[in-house]
Amino acid sequence: MEGICKAFPGVRALHNVDFALRKGEIHALMGENGAGKSTLIKVITGVYEKDAGRIALNGRPIHFKSPQEAQNMGIGTVYQEIALCSNLTVAENMFIGRGRYAFVQWKQMNEKATQLLNSLGIPASPTQELTSCSLAVQQMIAIARAVDMDCKILILDEPTSSLDEDEVNKLFELMRELKSRGVGIIFITHFIEQVYKISDRITVLRNGELIGEYETSSIPQIGLVAKMMGKALEDESKLKKHKPPKSDSSVPVFEATALSSAAGVRPFNFTIQKGEVNGFAGLIGSGRSESARAIFAADKVTGGKVRMKGKRVKIKEPIHAMKQGIGYLPEDRKGDGIIDELSVRDNIILAFQVMKGFFRPFSRTQAEEFADEYVQKLNIKTPSTNTPIKSLSGGNQQKVILARWLLTHPMYLILDEPTRGIDVGTKVEIQKLVLKLAENGMSLTFISSEIDEMLRTCSRLIVMKDREIVGELSGMNLTEHDVMHVIAQGEE
Amino acid sequence: MRRLKAQVSHLVLPLSVLVVLIIINLIKGADYFSLTVVNGALYGNIPNILFGASELVILAIGMTLVTASSQGQDIGIGAGATITSAVFVLFVLNAGDATLLTIVVGFLLSCVAGLVVGAFNGTLVSVFKVQPMVATLILLMGGRSIAFMIDGKLSPILANDISNQIGTVIPGVPIQTPIILTAVFIAIVAVVLKTTNLRLYVESVGINPSAARLNGISPKKIIFLTFLIMGVCTAVAGFIAVNKAGRHDSVNLLKFIMMDAILAVAIGGNSLSGGKFSITGSIIGAYTIEMLNRTMLRLEIQTETILAFKAVFIIILMAVASPVVRDYAKKILQRVRTIGVSSTVRKTGAPNDAEVSNPDTPVKKEE
């Protein structure tokens, strides 16, 4: 593949990406969320059409219009969630939708399934119901399904995320087996260790751009993490971090001890001072978002004690956190943040209105004043405050959610990925805003996949790995190297 | 101005249906709007529609709220109303002489029964996460039997003056009582919507429960609340229906009204999968359905075939209102407009950069 471009309205998802897969190799595709991995895969498999560029298979240019076409050309894909029918048998799952005839030839199908399973060394019987197999075996059956029909390329999107170590090893054996048959495998994962264990080469994407292609043996882990996280943009580097508050002796605004949640984050301690900006650093899945959610009680809190300004408080539901003066901008803007059909105005006043109470609605004029004030303050681009929020661009939607929380005048504001998927200009605006708010005495926790952003805004970084805090960094002159060092080393 | 426009755009469908029906009726006979005065009260086609639609309007209001919050419908409202009115009848018949006090107390008791019914449905839906239609199916099946058990016999008769006046007219008042009661009920709902955040909460929960929770709203409580409100609506509708009929018929009281109530919500421009709602739309929708029913009678369609005609009418209505047809119409409109624009541009010789923006382009979502 050469010079692949793909743009969506308002977002440039892929820009001039080259990608080459050799016969019989396992090629890892790496990058943080939003880097363009999924988009690239979808362009390869024909889910999306490319805007520009060239794709060739065995030297012949190809152009898929649908996933079915890609499959017929020998490109099999296994997605993160196992897309099989759990109440059907193994063989049925392997051949469903494959036959050209209306009638199933059971005997033939089962024989063929047995053959395939044996040849790949998958420990399952064709007549077994799928639910009776372990997740790993199900995953392998999904692969077997994709591999059947003379597969040349196999794409595995996060195949290991729900498997334990043993199961992962079994899956790797299968991958090696396929590799030895000359199948080219594209392997997408967030687990760096696994990449080093199985892949031959690595391609790194960031923000829709190709960062580079490397031999796995020639790039150290720390280098890889650096490539994934990226370098500072010049415009952003002009931002000036303000000094952390001097008096460490004062009572922290928020303090948690042994806090844990149903989302699986290990009990952790956490404090934040008045006017401090800190952040949870770590890769995707490290538990950084889960920790933030635990503080706001967005997930069910399963243990721990919480103090606000030294006073013991109970936070069981988001509303309790809000009443204590905590705001939370969620990671998943679409799923947890915006109420998409409601107007910009309603979206802005929502949290403040809920805090005021069910029986005390703001008057229309009052609500309009609030909305107008923040549309102006945050420079939100919208035709009017009556416009449904869903018709705004991602960056402006994010500003609306930010406005929603600023309107509540929180003491402590948690921002989880406030800059994801939005343009550079807005990113800088948001970072500037964070620093300004802190200067005015607000405490903030800032979480971002882009380590530069955190380095520029946070005076203290809590580094997480595998749902645990593995280190803490503070000081004015932190570099990404320091952070990567902690992540790569694990416990310190 | 823009605000007015946005509100009206939602009402285009129910209002245009209303207009079509009125035209049909006027073609049938120009005396459609004529009023007559009998014993000091107004009668005629329009008062009859307002009179006949009373229960439907009230139930459609409750249905709108339930639909908006729970993204499902309550199909047990007819049976629920039979239970609440059974409680009312039981109290009134056992209280001796029917005075205004006994009627009011009976009504309040039936409201309590309505709240119990609502709480039952609401608990199933909000706590146990049962699909609203499945949850309310329980009362649809069992409700009328329960009402019969409360009655103790078939069709107890409500023979007192006050009931009669509630069901027809109060001497000296020119408008039939159910019409007045419905108007009062609508006014109360309007006041509630004005003085509380019911709309904001219900819409937030209906559109995105997860985001609503993260903004401090409890989706469970709100869904439960809408079912409670539905319960009160059920009680009021049952009260009006039983006083109109003068007897409590557990088998036929408000039978099949859930169909019309759901239809009223749909015709009112509301999405049956929850979210933003328009109670005005549902009310107009309810009156439209009643008008449709009476129009078919006026057109002297055979009684046996009326439901088939109604079904055809509604199919046409739903097809016209469906997003598929609407998008298609929008596209055609846009094309017509673009042709218009480009031709004028050519005439003036300006650069042809007229671009049609499409607000519906999918927003990209990564991972």
As for how many domains chain B has, the answer is 2
Co-location of B335 and B220 in the same domain: no
Q: What are phi and psi of B118, to 5 degrees?
A: -60, -40
Cβ proximity of B121 and B136 under 8 Å:
yes
Co-location of B131 and B277 in the same domain: yes
Contacts A348 to B, Cβ<8 Å: none
| Complex ipTM value | 0.84
Note the pLDDT of residue B349.
41
Does the beta-carbon distance from A33 to B216 stay under 8 Å?
Answer: no
Tokens of A147: 């591999």
Cα–Cα distance, B274 to B71 (Å, whole number): 4
Note the pLDDT of residue A111.
83
Short-list B214, B216, B201, B200, CA closest to A332? B214
Contacts B357 to A, Cβ<8 Å: none
Torsion of CA B327, B333, B336, B339, to 10 degrees: -70
Lowest mean pLDDT among A453-462, B82-91, B264-273, B352-361: B352-361
Co-location of B161 and B123 in the same domain: yes
Contacts A13 to B, Cβ<8 Å: 364, 366
Q: Quick check: B1 pLDDT over 50?
A: no
Q: Identify the residue among B200, B214, B361, B367 best suited for mutation to test binding to A, counting A beta carbons within 10 A and taking the highest.
A: B214
Does the beta-carbon distance from B197 to A334 stay under 8 Å?
Answer: no
Domain A234-489 homologous superfamily, CATH: P-loop containing nucleotide triphosphate hydrolases (3.40.50.300)
Q: Quick check: B17 pLDDT over 60?
A: yes
Does the beta-carbon distance from A342 to B204 stay under 8 Å?
Answer: yes
Estimate the crossing angle of helix B54-70 against helix B219-245, to 10 degrees. 170
Q: What is the DSSP letter of A334?
A: I
pTM above 0.90, yes or no: no
Query: How distant is the Cα of A375 from the closest Cα of chain B, in angstroms?
Result: 19
Residue A155's Cα: distance from chain center in Å?
19
Note the pLDDT of residue A161.
67
Domain A2-229 has CATH 3.40.50.300: yes
Return the SS3 of A55. strand
Co-location of B75 and B131 in the same domain: yes
Does the beta-carbon distance from A318 to B213 stay under 8 Å?
Answer: yes
Note the pLDDT of residue A232.
43
Q: What is the CATH number of the domain that holds B171?
A: 1.10.3470
| Residue B224 domain-assigned (yes or no) | yes
Does the beta-carbon distance from B276 to A335 stay under 8 Å?
Answer: no
Tens-digit pLDDT string for chain A (492 aa): 544 555 544 445 677 788 888 888 899 988 766 677 877 888 888 777 777 777 887 777 877 777 777 777 788 888 766 667 777 888 887 777 665 555 667 787 888 888 888 877 777 888 888 877 777 778 778 888 877 656 788 888 877 766 667 778 878 888 888 888 888 889 888 777 788 888 898 988 887 788 888 888 888 877 787 777 765 444 444 555 555 555 555 788 999 999 999 888 889 999 999 989 999 988 777 888 899 999 999 999 999 999 999 999 999 999 999 999 999 999 888 889 999 999 999 999 999 999 999 999 999 999 999 999 999 999 888 889 999 998 887 788 999 999 999 999 999 999 998 987 676 667 788 888 999 999 999 999 999 877 878 888 888 999 988 888 888 888 777 787 888 888 877 544
| Residue B192 domain-assigned (yes or no) | yes
| Residue B172 domain-assigned (yes or no) | yes
Co-location of B343 and B267 in the same domain: no
Other CB atoms closer than 10 Å to residue B341's CB: what's the count?
A: 14
Q: Quick check: B56 pLDDT over 80?
A: yes
Note the pLDDT of residue B92.
93
Note the pLDDT of residue A99.
57
| Residue B366 domain-assigned (yes or no) | no
| Residue B108 domain-assigned (yes or no) | yes
Co-location of B103 and B145 in the same domain: yes
Q: Where are the domains of chain A?
A: 2-229, 234-489
Instruction: Kindly indicate the confidence band of residue B366, based on its pLDDT and cuts at 50, 70 and 90.
Output: very low
| Residue B359 domain-assigned (yes or no) | no
pLDDT digits (tens, 9 = 90+) for B210-252: 999 999 999 999 999 999 999 999 999 999 999 999 999 999 9
Nearest residue of A to residue B274 by CA position?
A341
Residue B33's Cα: distance from chain center in Å?
24
| Residue B357 domain-assigned (yes or no) | no
Q: Quick check: B35 pLDDT over 60?
A: yes
Does the beta-carbon distance from A318 to B359 stay under 8 Å?
Answer: no
Q: Closest partner residue to A351 among B215, B275, B367, by Cβ?
A: B215
Note the pLDDT of residue B48.
92
Q: In what order do the strands lie in the sheet with A209-215?
A: A60-62, A52-57, A2-8, A11-17, A209-215, A201-206, A26-30, A184-188, A153-157, A75-78
Surface-to-core class of residue A126, CB atoms within 10 Å of its CB (0-12 exposed, 13-18 middle, 19+ buried) = buried
Co-location of B176 and B165 in the same domain: yes
Co-location of B231 and B271 in the same domain: yes
Co-location of B142 and B156 in the same domain: yes
Does the beta-carbon distance from B275 to A341 stay under 8 Å?
Answer: yes
Cβ proximity of A484 and A471 under 8 Å:
no
Q: Identify the residue among A350, A355, A408 best suited for mutation to test binding to B, counting B beta carbons within 10 A and taking the highest.
A: A350
Does the beta-carbon distance from A335 to B210 stay under 8 Å?
Answer: yes
Co-location of B294 and B311 in the same domain: no
Q: What does the pLDDT average to over B27-34?
A: 83
What is the extent of the structural domain holding B312? 303-348
Cβ neighbours for B293, distance < 8 A, ≥ 6 positions apart: B52, B306, B310
Does the beta-carbon distance from B366 to A13 stay under 8 Å?
Answer: yes
Co-location of B206 and B311 in the same domain: no
Contacts B362 to A, Cβ<8 Å: 8-9
Co-location of B324 and B205 in the same domain: no
Q: Quick check: B360 pLDDT over 70?
A: no
Does the beta-carbon distance from A350 to B366 stay under 8 Å?
Answer: no
Give whichever of A473-482, B91-100, B179-188 has the largest mean pLDDT: B179-188
Cβ neighbours for A396, distance < 8 A, ≥ 6 positions apart: A380, A381, A382, A426
Other CB atoms closer than 10 Å to residue B282's CB: what's the count?
A: 30
Query: How distant is the Cα of B364 from the closest Cα of chain A, in angstroms?
Result: 6
Q: In what order do the strands lie in the sheet with A311-313?
A: A268-272, A254-261, A301-308, A311-313
Look-up of token digits 């406005």 = A403
- Judged by a CB distance cut-off of 8 A, whether residue B124 touches chain A is no
| Residue B356 domain-assigned (yes or no) | no
